[in-house]
Amino acid sequence: MYERLAEIVKGIEELERQRGELSERLRSKSELFPEALEKELTKKIEPKKLNLKVAAVDGGLLAQEFHGFDLVVARAVAVLFEYQDSLLAGHKYHPRAFAEVEIDVMSALESHDYNWHKGLFRLKKELEIACEGVEKFEPEFMLLDGSIVPLVSDKPADDSPVHGSYVQVISLYKKLYETCEKKGCTLAGVIKDSRGKRFVEILQKKFRDERILEKSSDTSLIHFLLKTGERTFAFNYSADPAKNQVLRDLSEWGRKINAFYIKPVEKDRPLRVEFLDGKHSFDEIASVIYSLSRINKNYGYPAVLIEADMRAALDKVELERAYRELFMKLGMRSSIMPLRRDSRPFR
């Protein structure tokens, strides 16, 4: 095992060395990249004195399988931070600081349908709350925890019993885009741990021989490429939205989804930022996200999203409470029996 570990360590070191070297080379050249929406590979971000309203939405979800049904509890919360001279001057919540959880039960789902259902149920909650938050708070920015489009993995098969939920989610995304556009609000998704490869793919089109690109995700490379306070060029979410499985469901909105990466703090990795093309320029968006995120050199993430995450997080107790309520009303019957793997006699 130790030999294998040594090999792995060596391999990782080598990958990082190559990414570092490539990044240096890339920074020294002034190439134009096809599909990049800007000329420069990297750009310095100007920090901004914050005098604005920023909202954020996050959701929490817990689920448990039972013999006869699958139980899901979720909630989403919108938080509004009002900044004056970059200091938090006020804050509000929607629907409230401690939002009630919503319970959902589905039965006879295949395992993969169950996974889709969970994700879609939470997305639905988050999108509903985001729409309401934009209407109610009228913020300059609405930040989502994660992407502003559904992931391909969120899309169930056409014949799945949960496909209807996906259709609802798509419809809610469109509604959110429309609401943001109508209210002059920039919708942005901040992705903590992106596995995206779109940026690398853009580079590959120019540097076909760089093998290290094949072995890199966007953030693993950009960590070496960007210096603190910089961002990459902006790019479209997809090279061909019409062919993208998800973007095509979003019809014309699919073409308006852009992204870039920023490195807000010294000791944290880059953040992927996705945004709906609209009122604010790339630089303005980057400035705001950067200014919101650079308050802890070890953890570059907007404070408003941290608050939303804490408000939305669910304790296991919530799930137990929902189960107890069901149990009290149903009594012990086969449907409510826990799975065998959750009720082993000795562990």
Partner 1 sequence: MANSELGTVISTFEGPTTANFAFVISNTKVRKGQFVQTQTEDGLLIGMVLEITRANRYFERAESVAEYEKNSSMVASFPTQDWEYVIANTKALGLFKDRNLIRSTFPAAPGAKVHETDIDMLREFLGFVENGLNIGKLQNHDVEVKLPLNNLFQKHLAMLAMSGAGKSYLASVILEELLDRKPEYGRLSVVVVDVHGEYLGFKQGAYADRTSVFDGRKIRVGLHKVSPQMLCEFLPELNSVQRREISKIMGELRAERKEMGTAYGMPDLIARIEQADMNKAVKSSLVGWLLELDTYKLFGKGDYPIMDELCRPGRLSVLDLSDLDSQKKKQLIVAYFAKKLFRQRKKGKIPPFALLVEEAHNFCREKAKASMSISKPIIETIAREGRKFGASLILVSQRPVQLSTTALSQCNTNIFLRVTNPYDIKHIAESCEGIDFSMQNSITSLRVGEALIVGEAVSHPIFVKVRKRKSVKSSKGESLETLAKKFEEMEVKKKEDVEAFI
> Which is nearer to partner 1, 28 or 298 (by Cβ)?
298
> Which is nearer to partner 1, 64 or 296 (by Cβ)?
296
Min dist. Cβ of residue 97 to partner 1 (A): 6
Three-state DSSP class for residue 273: strand
Q: Which of 310, 330, 337, 339 binds partner 1 (CB under 8 A)?
A: 310
**Does 97 contact partner 1 by CB under 8 A?**
yes
Phi, psi of 58 (to 5 degrees): -145, 160
Strand extents, DSSP E, the chain:
42-44, 53-65, 70-84, 87-94, 102-106, 141-145, 186-191, 230-232, 235-236, 257-263, 271-276
**Does 324 contact partner 1 by CB under 8 A?**
no
In the stretch 54-93, what mask flags binding to partner 1 with x, by CB under 8 A? ---------------------------x-----xx--x--
Min dist. Cβ of residue 49 to partner 1 (A): 13
Cα–Cα distance, 271 to 237 (Å, whole number)? 15
**Does 205 contact partner 1 by CB under 8 A?**
no
**Does 96 contact partner 1 by CB under 8 A?**
no
Phi, psi of 54 (to 5 degrees): -125, 130
> Which is nearer to partner 1, 303 or 326 (by Cβ)?
303
CA distances from 82 to 7, 221, 260 (A): 51, 35, 25
Q: Do 220 and 210 meet the contact criterion of CB atoms below 8 Å apart? A: no
Q: Which of 15, 103, 295, 314 binds partner 1 (CB under 8 A)?
A: 295
Three-state DSSP class for residue 182: helix
Give the footprint of partner 1 on this chain (CB under 8 A).
81, 87-88, 91, 97, 294-299, 303, 306-307, 310
